[in-house]
């Protein structure tokens, strides 16, 4: 039996259970939306610019996050296909969500004639903030933790008592890797919001990819529930390295080939068709 300080279920309404995980994820998305909305208005876009982009990116992000997870757990789901849509049993991958959300966002930018790099800069701080908040859903679910540690080791970190108690799972204390990633992401949010006005169009989003991926690479190495590519290679660490390379490459390529405007200097931009002067 799992011995936990906090019940993962927040509200029970007859047969319906509302879990803290869902509440926290929804709160992260909502807060991110309001922050991005303030940013897009400063640029001069219409107040409804982000509604469809964030809504549909979130929907397809969750779908692809589940597909991504299932792909890397395929032997299990081949034997238990009825569980594939049972997302409430756990099993979504953030990198899958990012792939689905980014692809959806780019498609919608093309349809609406928005510049995807500029929109990416607007929402990048919101994405990493939402990820930092969302990790507390893992805390409530007693998942995404690291290896076993002593209570003394947790106390040495000077973290609140409620976190220490909730990391006591099945008779053992565990490393709160959710907390490490959450702190890293929230620090990333502060950095992105602070430096964005000094960067060129597209670079805030690339910095997000780089910052998030560096933190995720190291935190993933501590976790005990990673999706594995091989016996020793973790999928999330491979993806993190790829995203760091992509982020750096895009910054260099766009600076050399296009010399884009600074974020603070640009008004609403359209889908990139020609060289930006």
Q: Domain for residue 32, yes or no?
A: no
Q: Residues 55-72: pLDDT tens digits?
A: 999 999 999 999 999 999
- To the question of whether residue 151 is assigned a binding role by annotation, the answer is no
Tell whether 98 is covered by a domain: no
Range of the domain at 220: 115-270
The pair of three-digit structure tokens given for residue 263, joined into one six-digit string = 């974020």
Q: What pLDDT is recorded for position 92?
A: 84
d(CA 139, CA 52): 30
Tens of pLDDT, residues 173-221: 999 999 999 999 999 999 999 999 999 999 999 999 999 999 999 999 9
What mean pLDDT value characterizes the chain? Answer: 91
User: What is the torsional sign of CA 227, 173, 138, 215?
Assistant: negative
CA-atom Rg of the chain in angstroms: 20
In this structure, the number of other CB atoms found within 10 A of the CB of residue 233 comes to 10
Q: What angle do CA 197, 257, 259 make, to 5 degrees?
A: 25
Banded model confidence at residue 3, pLDDT cuts 50, 70, 90:
very low
pLDDT digits (tens, 9 = 90+) for 73-102: 899 899 988 888 877 666 789 999 999 999
In a domain, 8, yes or no: no
- What whole-number distance in Å separates Cα of residue 261 and Cα of residue 2? 54
> Residue 243 falls within a domain, yes or no?
yes
Is pLDDT of 4 > 80?
A: no
Residue 228's DSSP bridge partners are 234
CA distances from 182 to 2, 193, 202, 222, 253 (A): 24, 17, 24, 14, 31
Contact 129, 212 (CB under 8 A): no
Structure tokens at 6: 């906090």
Q: Which of 167, 168, 97 is nearest to 130 (CA)?
A: 97
pLDDT in tens, 28-64: 999 999 999 999 999 999 888 999 999 999 999 999 9
Closest to 107 (Cα-Cα) out of 99, 35, 132, 199: 99
| 221 φ, ψ (degrees, to nearest 5) | -65, -15
Q: What is the 3-state secondary structure (H, E, C) of 129-192?
A: HHHHHHHHHHHHHCCCCECEECHHHHHHCCCCHHHHHHCEECCEEECCHHHHHHHHHHHHHHHH
In a domain, residue 85? The reply is: no
3-state helix, strand, coil in the chain (%, to 5): 65, 10, 25
pLDDT in tens, 237-273: 999 999 999 999 999 999 999 999 999 998 999 998 6
Q: Is residue 92 part of a domain?
A: no
Closest to 52 measured CA to CA, from 134, 121, 123, 118: 123
The reply to whether 106 falls in a domain is no
Q: Is there a domain that residue 180 lies in?
A: yes
Q: Which of 224, 227, 216 is nearest to 147 (CA)?
A: 224
pLDDT score recorded for residue 83? 87
The pTM assigned to this predicted structure is 0.91
Domain total in the chain? 1
């Amino acid at each position: 039996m799992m011995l936990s300080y906090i019940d993962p279920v927040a509200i029970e309404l007859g047969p319906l259970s509302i879990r803290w995980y869902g509440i926290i994820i929804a709160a992260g998305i909502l807060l991110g939306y309001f922050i991005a909305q303030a940013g897009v208005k400063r640029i001069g876009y219409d107040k409804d610019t982000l509604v469809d982009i964030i809504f549909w990116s979130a929907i397809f992000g969750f779908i692809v996050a589940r597909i991504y997870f299932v792909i890397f757990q395929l032997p299990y789901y081949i034997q238990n296909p009825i569980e594939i849509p049972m997302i409430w049993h756990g099993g979504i991958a953030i990198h899958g969500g990012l792939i689905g959300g980014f692809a959806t966002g780019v498609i919608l930018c093309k349809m609406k004639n928005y510049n995807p790099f500029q929109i990416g800069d607007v929402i990048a701080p919101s994405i990493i903030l939402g990820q930092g908040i969302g990790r507390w859903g893992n805390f409530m679910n007693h998942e995404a933790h690291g290896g076993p540690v002593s209570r003394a080791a947790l106390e040495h970190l000077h973290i609140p008592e409620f976190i220490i108690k909730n990391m006591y799972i099945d008779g053992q204390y565990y490393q709160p890797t959710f907390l490490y990633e959450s702190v890293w992401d929230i620090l990333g949010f502060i950095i992105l919001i602070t430096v964005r006005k000094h960067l060129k169009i597209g670079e805030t989003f690339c910095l997000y990819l780089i910052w998030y991926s560096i933190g995720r690479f190291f935190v993933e190495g501590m976790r005990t529930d990673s999706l594995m590519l091989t016996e020793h290679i973790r999928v999330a660490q491979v993806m993190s390295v790829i995203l760091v390379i992509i982020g750096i490459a895009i910054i260099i390529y766009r600076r050399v080939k296009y010399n884009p405007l600074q974020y603070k200097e640009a008004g609403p931009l359209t889908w990139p068709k020609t060289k930006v002067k």
